[in-house]
Copies of this chain bind each other. A is one copy, B any other.
Amino acid sequence: MAFSPALTQLIDALRVLPGVGAKSAQRMAFHLLQRERQGGRHLATTLEHAIATVRHCSECRMFTEGERCEICANERRDPALVCVVESPADVMAIEQNTDYRGRYFVLMGKLSPLDGVGPEELGLGILRERLAAGTVEELILAMGATVEGEATAQYVGDLARQNGARISRIAHGVPVGGELEYVDAGTLSQAFSGRRPV
């Protein structure tokens, strides 16, 4: 005895979602069929549409439906300043919380040789071209402070150095509102080595 074919297929297909295992997939399938048929139909259409139309911006690799994303197409954003981030969510976070007016380059991941993610997968060929064109004056490294993030920053930094761009790194240290005693050792040591005269 198993679920009917269409239901079994739906449960299997849902497991493509990150963090969704057998039990959650089953719960999702029941929920969609029992209470959210309209929402489910909408999800199917939207998903198909997004997969068919969303691609990478030819300049920064951000997700977009056009040839270039909103930011790269905006002439008022400074092309001499490029901030390199790991994911589209990072672009959103920077846009919403800072007054940064330069452009971006979205890696869509970080170097991770064990997972088969090398420079090619991160689109670093495109970044190299942008750097070689000579318009980029400063490259801001804004990867996360993880082991892979550091390795990626190192690699991208070398690339920029070879092409004569200035390189900077966003500051790592004690978070604003954070108590010193609860900050971990690595962060505290970064905060000290990165101290600035006031």
Contact = CB atoms under 8 A, between A and B. Distances in A.
Contacts of A96: 1
A157 B19 CA distance: 40
B65 A6 contact: yes
Interface in A5-52: 5-7, 9-10, 12-14, 16-19, 24, 26-34, 36-37, 39-51
Nearest to A46: B13
A64 interface: yes
Given A30-B89, A39-B13, A1 B95 contact: yes
Interface of A: 1-7, 9-10, 12-14, 16-19, 24, 26-34, 36-37, 39-51, 53-54, 63-66, 69-71, 87-89, 91-92, 95-96, 108-109
A8 to B, nearest CB: 9
**What are the 8 A-B residue pairs with the smallest beta carbon separation, nearest first?**
A16-B39, A13-B46, A10-B50, A1-B95, A44-B48, A44-B47, A13-B43, A6-B50
9 contacts: A6-B49, A6-B50, A9-B49, A13-B39, A16-B42, A30-B63, A32-B51, A33-B50, A34-B109
Contacts of A28: 17-18
